[in-house]
């Protein structure tokens, strides 16, 4: 699915001044962005005009719109759009694409998964997401994608990656459904039994280069196991995971659908609950009390809704998908009303990468959030969950120059998030790219 923005982005870039020659003959290191409407801090600010000065990948100053453009700077004029901080998606799977059946998934090599991740990183960036948290990938694939982007080899958002999800044997992140010896070959090696082995898996993840830890605390919709969506780990195992992660400076994201698994994860001290499908009232209260983040992933449900009843899923998966779909938006509505902190996350990979921005309208329509609250969840909220508040989340001097311009007013109409007209990541204007 395309962004629907290719021609408009191209038209915009024609309006941008050509690169000015800098002293010494290179291209200008300073970019001045004159924005008709800018929301610098989504928590508090109204849209206002501004001149944003970017240098060496960072925001250097925010000036009045009629301030003089620094000599030698490249001027970019953004009219008819709203400039907001670069968007953050805290739940993606860059190395996966949706809609593959059971056998097709088993044929994907790590090399192909890495290539897929590089392609999806570019698509995600073009959709306005300048930072993503990858929460589940095979072997070293997402680390390779992350590092290739960080080294400037390929375009993409800033990536934080967990590597393989930690799971119980036969759980959501294990491989089931084939002959036992085939399951063994395909397995991630990240399953554990008992507190000691679970602590070991966390240390192994840290050693491989994980930025955070992802666990699957309950069953999951898309894995080939028919044991429902309830709690998998023991309380001891969960506590061993969170304590070990904390000792290594890593935060823990817990995939949890059943209320028992959400509650046990919260009590063990995880940082975020992913999906949260059957979240009960007592659990909402516990999350608020402990400051646990909720990552709603409403687009994951969209991915299921697009595929149920089409003979893509096995019977075990089809039954779980229907059970989860009956609860679409209910957990966000309860968590939001109950004062739980919400961080934006979509589960891209379960649906087509690049459609991440559709989550905003779902948060408003199905989750009962105001458009401004949805924007906060994808900027300052998500930045806080990632521990990157000093670097991203607002447009402010000293922060990374991650900027997105949307056609329309995102505070009035959340569909504006699907109309991305300009993206800057770490000070670089992202090339418009062809429709995909
Ligand atoms: Zn996921």
Q: How far is the CA of 92 from the centre of ligand 1 (A)?
A: 6
Ligand 1 geometric centre to CA of 400 (Å): 27
158 Cα–ligand 1 center, Å: 18
Contact in structure between 206 and 248 (CB atoms under 8 Å): yes
**Backbone dihedral angles phi then psi of residue 352, each to the nearest 5 degrees:** -70, 130
CA of 340 to the centre of ligand 1 (A): 20
Distance CA 247, CA 308 (A): 42
Do residues 271 and 127 both lie within one domain? yes
Phi-psi region of 275 (alpha: psi -120 to 50; beta: other; left: phi over 0): left
Residue 150: give its domain's CATH number.
Answer: 3.20.20.140
274: three-class secondary structure by DSSP: strand
Environment class of 68 (CB within 10 Å of its CB; exposed 0-12, middle 13-18, buried 19+): exposed
Does residue 92 sit in the same domain as residue 63?
Answer: no
Identify whether residues 179 and 69 lie together within a single domain. Answer: no
Q: What is the CA(359)–ligand 1 centre distance, in A?
A: 14
In a domain, 435, yes or no: no
Residue 311 pLDDT: 84
- Distance from C-alpha of 315 to C-alpha of 317, rounded to nearest angstrom: 5
Q: How far is the CA of 179 from the centre of ligand 1 (A)?
A: 25
User: Is 1 part of any domain?
Assistant: no
Q: What whole-number distance in Å separates Cα of residue 171 and Cα of residue 224?
A: 9
Question: In Å, how far from its chain's centre is CA 278?
Answer: 21
227 and 169 in one domain?
yes
Report how far ligand 1's centroid is from the alpha carbon of 401 (Å).
Answer: 28
Instruction: Give distance in angstroms: CA of 46 to centre of ligand 1.
Output: 33
Inside any domain, residue 262: yes
Q: From ligand 1's centre to the CA of 19, what distance in Å?
A: 41
Residue range(s) defining the domain that contains residue 13: 6-85+393-429
Using DSSP, state whether 170 is helix, strand or coil: coil
| Claim to verify: residue 118 and residue 91 sit in the same structural domain | yes
23 in a structural domain: yes
User: How close is the Cα of 38 to the center of ligand 1, in Å?
Assistant: 32
pLDDT of residue 3: 37
User: If you measure from the C-alpha of residue 343 to the centroid of ligand 1, how many angstroms do you get, rounded to a whole number?
Assistant: 14
Using CA atoms, how far apart are residues 306 and 189, in angstroms rounded to an integer? Answer: 31
Ligand 1 centroid–CA 405 distance in Å is 27
- The answer on 351 and 365 residing in a single domain is yes
Q: For residue 78, tell me if it sits in a domain.
A: yes
Same-domain pairing of 397 and 361: no
254 CA from centroid of ligand 1 (Å): 10
Residue 220 CA to ligand 1 centre (angstroms)? 9
Convert 128-151 to b/e letters by CB count within 10 Å (16 or more is b): bbbbbbbbbbbbbbbbbbbebbee
Q: What is the pLDDT of residues 305-331, one digit of tens each?
A: 998 998 888 888 898 899 999 999 999
Q: How far is the CA of 166 from the centre of ligand 1 (A)?
A: 13
Locate 91 and state its tokens. 């739940």
CA distance 281 to 335: 8
Residue ranges for the chain with pLDDT beneath 50 = 1-27, 433-436
pLDDT at 13: 39
CA–centroid distance, 297 to ligand 1, in Å, is 8
At residue 177, the pLDDT reads 83
105 and 55 co-located in one domain: no
Cβ atoms 212, 163 nearer than 8 A: no
Q: How far, in Å, from the CA of 135 to the mean position of ligand 1? A: 6
Residues 38 and 155 in one domain: no
Q: Which of 95, 191, 182 is nearest to 138 (CA)?
A: 95
434 inside domain: no
CA of 182 to the centre of ligand 1 (A): 24
State the residue for tokens 């003979």: 311
Residue 49 neighbours by CB distance under 10 Å: 14
In a domain, 360, yes or no: yes
Q: Which residues contact 138 (CB under 8 A, 6 or more apart)?
A: 95, 110, 113, 164, 188
Token pair recorded at residue 372: 């401004």
CA 257–ligand 1 middle distance (angstroms): 11
| Tally of domains within the chain | 2
Q: Helix, strand, or coil here: 361?
A: helix
CATH assignment of the domain containing 79:
2.30.40.10
CA of 199 to the centre of ligand 1 (A): 22
Please tell me the distance between residue 347's alpha carbon and the centre of ligand 1 in angstroms: 5
Q: Is the dihedral of CA 23, 26, 32, 34 positive or negative?
A: positive
Ligand 1: centre distance to CA 409 (Å): 30
Residue 22 CA to ligand 1 center (angstroms) comes to: 45
Indicate whether 130 and 150 sit together in one domain. Answer: yes
Using CA atoms, how far apart are residues 429 and 431, in angstroms rounded to an integer?
6
Tokens of 233: 């780990």
Q: Per this entry, what is the length of the chain?
A: 436
Strand order in 158-161's β-sheet?
A: 87-92, 129-134, 158-161
Question: What's the CA-to-centroid distance between 427 and ligand 1, angstroms?
Answer: 29
The Å distance, Cα 320 to ligand 1 centre, comes to 15
**Residue 134 Cα, ligand 1 centroid: separation in angstroms?**
8
Give me ligand 1 centre to Cα 352, in Å: 13
* Residue with token string 């005009």: 49
- For residue 120, the surrounding DSSP H or E stretch is helix 110-126
Identify whether 436 is part of a domain.
Answer: no
Ligand 1 centroid, distance to 424 Cα (angstroms): 26
Both 259 and 382 in one domain: the answer is: yes
Handedness of CA 420, 425, 428, 431 (dihedral sign): negative
pLDDT in tens, 68-103: 999 999 999 999 999 999 999 999 999 999 988 778
Q: Say yes or no: 62 and 163 in one domain.
A: no
Residue 116 Cα to ligand 1 middle (Å): 16
Strands, sheet with 213-216, edge to edge from the N-terminal-most edge strand? 213-216, 252-256, 272-275, 293-295, 341-342
CA of 429 relative to ligand 1 center, distance in Å: 29
Express the helix, strand and coil content of the chain in percent, nearest 5 each. 35, 20, 45
Q: How far apart are the first and last CA of the chain?
A: 6
């Amino acid at each position: 699915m395309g962004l629907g923005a290719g021609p408009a982005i191209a038209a915009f870039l024609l309006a941008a001044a050509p690169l000015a020659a800098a002293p010494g003959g290179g291209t200008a290191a300073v970019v001045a962005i004159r924005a008709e409407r800018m929301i610098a801090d989504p928590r508090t600010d109204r849209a206002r005009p501004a001149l944003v000065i970017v240098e060496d990948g960072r925001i250097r100053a925010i000036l009045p719109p009629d301030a003089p453009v620094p000599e030698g700077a490249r001027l970019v004029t953004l009219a008819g759009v709203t400039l907001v901080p670069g968007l953050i998606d805290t739940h993606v799977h860059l190395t996966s694409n949706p809609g593959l059946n059971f056998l097709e998934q088993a044929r994907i090599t790590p090399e192909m998964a890495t290539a897929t991740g590089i392609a999806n990183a570019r698509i995600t960036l073009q959709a306005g997401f300048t930072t993503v948290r990858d929460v589940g990938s095979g072997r070293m694939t997402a680390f390779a994608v992350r590092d290739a982007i960080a080294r400037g080899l390929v375009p993409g958002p800033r990536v934080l990656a967990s590597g393989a999800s930690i799971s119980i044997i036969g759980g959501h992140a294990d491989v089931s459904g084939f002959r036992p010896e085939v399951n063994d070959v395909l397995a991630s090696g990240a399953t554990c039994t008992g507190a000691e082995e679970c602590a070991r898996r966390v240390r192994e993840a840290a050693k491989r280069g994980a930025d955070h830890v992802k666990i699957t605390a309950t069953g999951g919709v898309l894995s080939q196991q028919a044991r429902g969506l309830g709690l998998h780990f023991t309380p001891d195992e969960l506590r061993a995971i969170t304590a070990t992660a904390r000792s290594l400076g890593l935060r823990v994201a817990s995939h949890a659908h059943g209320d028992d698994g959400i509650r046990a994860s919260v009590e063990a001290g995880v940082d975020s609950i992913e999906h949260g499908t059957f979240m009960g009232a007592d659990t909402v209260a516990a999350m608020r009390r402990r400051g646990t983040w909720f990552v709603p992933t409403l687009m994951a449900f969209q991915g299921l809704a697009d595929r149920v009843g089409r003979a893509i899923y096995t019977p075990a998966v089809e039954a779980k998908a229907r059970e989860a779909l009956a609860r679409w938006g209910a957990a966000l509505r309860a968590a939001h009303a109950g004062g739980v902190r919400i961080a934006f996350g979509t589960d891209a990979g379960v649906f087509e990468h690049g459609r991440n921005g559709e989550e905003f309208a779902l948060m408003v329509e199905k989750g009962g959030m105001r458009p401004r609250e949805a924007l906060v969840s994808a900027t300052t909220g998500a930045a806080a969950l990632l521990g990157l508040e000093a670097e991203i989340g607002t447009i402010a001097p000293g922060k990374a120059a991650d900027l997105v311009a949307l056609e329309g007013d995102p505070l009035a109409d959340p569909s504006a998030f699907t109309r991305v007209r300009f993206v800057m990541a770490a000070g670089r204007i992202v090339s418009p790219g062809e429709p995909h």
